[in-house]
């Protein structure tokens, strides 16, 4: 019997409008956009049209290469600071015509795939605060600092535009990635405490903000915008597979300091046995995924020479440096110090 052929899943994509302003930022550093595109494996003509779409993995790689080649560690942050509501394209009408801030955020979250597939925008209430969190669900994308900072900076501008106050500041800002060597620009941009190595990328505000009315909202135009979004938004988008969701949950819990299959299964609304079986169907085990992610992240962190080995071990969920060192030698065949000497030379 001939085995059924299953086509490869389509890659998650996003609108190239999110790269608007990148070329002049690079030019200030004497770097051409074409050079960055070549390093990231992107054709410059693919990003010339704001409504064109680029695979999310390529988009993330492009921003990381832009930061590396320009020497501007905050290029994603700067890029996001220059984006207004119009950068959301067709979604902008569903934002500015919502009755209140909560409605605007809900509309963006529900139809976010129109702007960016394979990503998630979540609104939650935690005590007296509203928390809007952003994450990429693609199992192959773990290191997306520049994209995360672009997205949270854009969220800051989004909120300021809705409340009509360009000086508005959040209560706090969270980022998944470790603190960079210099984070003063982050504090200046957000005007709020900024915390790194957190389980999520998020902006935090008093929950009362959600009830603020949006001036000039037109409910007729809102209805048209939502009808259009409903018709154009795909029912299912790339990045929703089980392995991606498990890896995302593992990543969050590594940064929180504790990873267990019980907690991950509960977060996915599955029993532990069902999760084990479904992972087995994918040719994976939970422990293999945890160890694989620890090894992958450890290599990325060791290349950031301002992070101490103790801090890296903590970020990976190890309470003692010796445990991390033993694990890394088992994975790589060399010690973390030896790996860092070669990687950072």
Span 232-279, pLDDT tens digits:
887 655 555 788 788 888 887 887 667 899 999 998 899 999 999 999
Asked whether the beta carbons of 277 and 271 are under 8 A apart, the reply is: no
Span 12-35, pLDDT tens digits:
899 999 999 999 999 999 999 999
Q: Answer whether CATH 1.10.10.60 is correct for domain 242-343.
A: yes
Query: Position of tokens 């071990």?
Result: 313
Positive/negative CA dihedral, 107, 109, 112, 113: negative
Span 160-207, pLDDT tens digits:
999 999 999 999 999 999 999 999 999 999 999 999 988 889 999 999
Q: How far from 184 is each of 28, 74, 85, 190, CA to CA, in Å?
A: 21, 10, 26, 10
Q: How far from 30 is each of 27, 204, 245, CA to CA, in Å?
A: 5, 36, 40
pTM of the model: 0.85
Tell the burial category of 107 from Cβ atoms under 10 Å away from its Cβ (0-12, 13-18, 19+). Answer: buried
Q: Domains of the chain: which residue ranges?
A: 73-232, 242-343
Query: Position of tokens 């905050």?
Result: 74
Asked whether the beta carbons of 145 and 153 are under 8 A apart, the reply is: no
């Amino acid at each position: 019997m001939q085995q059924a052929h299953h086509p490869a899943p389509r890659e998650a994509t996003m609108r190239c409008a999110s790269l608007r302003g990148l070329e002049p930022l690079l030019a200030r550093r004497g770097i051409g956009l074409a050079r960055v595109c070549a390093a990231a494996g992107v054709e410059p003509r693919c990003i010339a049209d704001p409504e064109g779409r680029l695979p999310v993995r390529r988009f993330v790689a492009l921003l990381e290469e832009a930061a590396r080649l320009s020497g501007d560690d905050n290029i994603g942050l700067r890029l996001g600071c220059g984006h207004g509501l119009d950068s959301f394209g067709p979604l902008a009408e569903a934002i500015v015509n919502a009755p209140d801030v909560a409605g605007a955020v809900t509309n963006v979250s529900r139809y976010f795939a129109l702007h960016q597939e394979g990503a998630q925008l979540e609104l939650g209430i935690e005590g007296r605060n509203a928390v809007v969190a952003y994450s990429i669900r693609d199992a192959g994308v773990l290191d997306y600092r520049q994209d995360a900072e672009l997205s949270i900076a854009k969220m800051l501008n989004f909120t300021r535009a809705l409340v009509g106050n360009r000086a508005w500041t959040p209560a706090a800002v969270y980022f998944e990635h470790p603190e960079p060597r210099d984070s003063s620009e982050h504090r200046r941009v957000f005007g709020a405490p900024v915390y790194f190595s957190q389980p999520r990328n998020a902006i935090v505000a008093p929950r009362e903000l959600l009830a603020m009315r949006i001036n000039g909202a037109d409910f007729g135009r809102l209805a048209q915008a939502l009808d259009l979004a409903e018709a154009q938004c795909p029912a299912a988008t790339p990045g929703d597979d089980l392995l991606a969701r498990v890896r995302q949950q593992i990543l969050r819990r590594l940064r929180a300091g504790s990873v267990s299959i019980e907690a991950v299964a509960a977060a996915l609304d599955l029993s532990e046995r069902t999760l084990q079986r479904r992972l087995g169907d994918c040719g994976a085990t939970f422990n293999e995924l945890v160890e694989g992610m620890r090894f992958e992240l450890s290599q990325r962190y060791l290349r950031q020479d301002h992070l101490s080995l103790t801090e890296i071990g903590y970020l990976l969920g190890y309470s003692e440096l010796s445990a991390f060192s033993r694990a890394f030698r088992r994975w790589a065949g060399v010690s973390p110090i030896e790996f860092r000497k070669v990687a950072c030379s």
